[in-house]
Amino acid sequence: MEGKIQILILDDEPIVGKRLGPALAKMGGEVEVFENPHQALMRIQEKTFDIVVTDIRMEDIDGIEILEKVKAKSDHTKVIMITGYATVEVAREALGKGAFDFIAKPFKPNDLREVIVRAAAALGFKGLTAVESAK
Amino acid sequence: MTWTAPKMNNNPNGPLEKKGAFLKGTPVSPMPDEACFAEAQKDLTARPTMSIRAKIILGFVLLFFLCAGASITFLIMGSRINQKLKVMETVNSYTFEIQQARRFEKNFFLYRTNLPDALENIQNAREILKKESRNITEVIGPEKLHLMAAHLNRYENLLTSLRVTPSGSSEKPAASARIEGELRQHGSEMIFLAANLVEKERKEVESLTRLSRQVPLIFLAILLVVMVYLTHFLAQQIVRPLNRFVDYTLKIGQGDFTPIKPAKKYKDEFSRLALGINWMMDQLQKNQEQYIQSRKMASIGTLTSGIAHELNNPLNNICITTESLIDDLNTISEAEKRKRLQDIYTQAERASGTVRNLLDFTRMGQPAFVPVVVQELLSSTLNLARNEMELNNITLDYSPASPEAKVKGDFSQLQQVFLNLVINAIQSMPQGGNLGIQVKTEDPDFIQIAVKDTGVGIPQSVINQIFDPFFTTKEKGTGLGLSTSYTIVKKHGGKFLIDSQINQGSSFSVFIPKFKER
């Protein structure tokens, strides 16, 4: 596959978008950041993303709904769920509905990078590199 | 429908008062304390003992004596009859001897023979009398016996006097005739006496036997009466206390832990049961506090999603920001570095604030009364509940009070109360709704804080119970929220006011004494 990988990040914590956006862009992807799930959904309807990273617990719409809508629109999109409060039921539900992977807060940014790289590889992207962060 | 919980006297005895009784206007039994328990135990043991076993033994001893009495009566009757029969036999033998003597007497007067035989019979008769003299005396008395003996002696003398007269001689026929007459007289007297005696005895034996037939019937009748009474009495001794104890256990089941007090003058086996139950209640109450504390820890489950979220997010933010700072250390401006560091600091503060809130919630201690700013109290509470509100689509209607509004109380405990009310309100609106918080300061002594919801409301049938410990209408509720809140409000010298309509919503108003500057 050619072209940059399209990534959408959705989390109601502003810092997540502010910091992860540039970090993932540095890896070689094109990143769009959202704090509001409604706005994110509208964007998803407009554009097909390769990877969607979304928080599970948000006001109004929760991550599961985002997952469903994304999968409904384009099944090949890899959806990665972030959560501050992971339970087995939620994980099961998410994976059952087609989530690619699950990552619990607090996570080391490298963990997220690895997941993204794996997702990209699964999609056939070869250009992504997981830059080792300074420890 | 409005219900007011009246202002409490400062009874520091915790959540186990019967609030329902207050509502109906009957006096509330004060929660029993250690002294009350000790006194009840003392009263129970101080009584003299009369055990049920002793009563049973007594009952059976009574029955035994009744039977013994009847048996002895029978035995006595039997021996008397026996005695009389013996006497009759004796007298019959005696009579036989006398009759034989008289026959021989007649022979002598006819043929001048058998005089020694007659005398021999008289001897026999005398022997008989002597041998049975005791029995006979018992029956007819000593005088009659002497009389019989006298007759006998006289008869013998007369016979002996005949012997002196040589046989065949016909001199002194007049004397002979006289003797003969006297002999006949005595002889018939003796027979007559004996016959009377036998007749008398026979009659008595008859009446004794008749009586002895009645004894069993009378005995059975008395026995029946005594047994019925005893069974009834003994059954009562066991059944009545058992019923009493059933009542006690029912009362305990409803949460009334008043110690059992003595109900009778004497103590018995059931008193040990009462002592045991009192001790058990005392232990239960002692453990109650610990139990409530541990259940409260469990009730944190409601907040767990919020707490975990509230801690993990700041931590995550710190991680991300720190890494980005390190990555971009050489490329970003000083201002940007400062900004990111500030972000890290803010997130750390956020996390520590959450931990502090959680600790405050779980802490169980005596309230420290200080001035509490109502606005701070409510906003920190709402902060903790924010997550729950978002999850359940609850809109908030809150206009903060002026910073001057202060109450006198313990911040963390009051926070616990309002958090409880807010969470309850949220949970009453599973389909979403509006949460309203209103502060009123018009009253000179109290500040009124109302927590209103547009939820399912509280049914009339349970409104009296909502403050009872462990009462809950939630599937996974602990039932401790409102009862603990009630205790806290009471300790603060405050009160509740509740208004609720089914399917329209509820309003819980808390009145807390104002903090008055001196």
Q: Domain residues of chain A, as ranges?
A: 5-123
Which of B467, B457, B459, B472 has the alpha carbon at shortest distance from B489? B467
Higher pLDDT, B192 or A109: B192
- Nearest-5° angle of CA A99, CA A104, CA A110? 95
% of chain B at pLDDT higher than 70:
84
- What class, spelled out in words, does domain B1-31+366-518 have in CATH? alpha beta
| Whole-number pLDDT of residue A9 | 94
Which range has the worst mean pLDDT, A60-64, B49-53, B452-456, B479-483? B479-483
Asked if A19 and B323 come within 8 Å (Cβ–Cβ), the reply is yes
Q: Nearest-CA residue of chain B relative to A109?
A: B320
Task: Provide the pLDDT for residue A129.
Answer: 63
At B8 the pLDDT is: 37
Asked if B312 lies within 8 A of A105 by C-beta distance, the reply is: yes
Q: What is the pLDDT of residues B276-317, one digit of tens each?
A: 998 888 887 777 767 767 766 666 665 566 667 778 888 999
Q: Which fold has domain A5-123?
A: Rossmann fold (3.40.50)
Lowest average pLDDT, out of B140-144, B466-470, B486-490, goes to: B466-470
* Residue A25, min C-alpha distance to chain B (Å): 12
Grouping H, G, I as helix, E, B as strand and the rest as coil, residue B39 is helix
Would you say residue B195 has pLDDT above 80?
A: yes
Give the C-alpha separation, B262 to A124, whole Å: 87
The phi, psi pair for B321, rounded to 5°, reads -65, -45
Chain B residue closest in CA terms to A12: B313
Model confidence band, residue B477 (pLDDT cutoffs 50, 70, 90): low
Q: Which residue among B309, B317, B320 sits closest to A85, beta carbon to beta carbon?
A: B309
Q: How many CB atoms lie within 10 A of CB B328?
A: 17
The pLDDT of residue A112 is above 90: no
pTM of the model: 0.42
Domain ranges across chain B: 1-31+366-518, 54-230, 304-362
pLDDT score, position B118:
85
* Range 301-330 of B in CB contact (< 8 A) with A: 304-305, 308-313, 315-321, 323-324, 326-328
Per DSSP, B476 falls in state T
Q: Is it the case that residue B170 has pLDDT exceeding 70? A: no
> Taking all residues of chain B, what is their mean pLDDT, rounded to a whole number?
81
Report how far residue A7's alpha carbon sits from residue A123's, in angstroms, rounded to the nearest whole number.
12
| Nearest chain A residue (CA) to B389 | A59
pLDDT the model gives residue B156: 86
Rounded mean pLDDT of chain A? 84
Please tell me if residue B456 touches chain A, with a CB cutoff of 8 Å.
no
What's residue B488's pLDDT?
84
Q: Which residue of A has its CA nearest to B325?
A: A19
Q: Determine the pLDDT at residue A113.
A: 87
Q: How far is B323 from chain A (nearest CA, A)?
A: 7
Secondary-structure percent of chain B, ordered helix, strand, coil, rounded to 5: 65, 10, 25
Q: Do residues B87 and B139 make contact, with C-beta atoms less than 8 angstroms apart?
A: yes
Considering only CB atoms, which chain B residues are within 8 Å of A130? none
Q: Quickly name the fold that domain B54-230 has.
A: Four Helix Bundle (Hemerythrin (Met), subunit A) (1.20.120)
Confidence of residue A94 (pLDDT cuts 50, 70, 90): confident
pLDDT digits (tens, 9 = 90+) for A38-87: 999 999 999 999 999 998 877 678 888 899 999 999 999 999 998 776 67
pLDDT surpasses 70 at B25 = no
What pLDDT, on the 0 to 100 scale, is given for residue B366?
Answer: 62
With contact defined as beta carbons under 8 Å apart, do B450 and B508 qualify?
Answer: yes
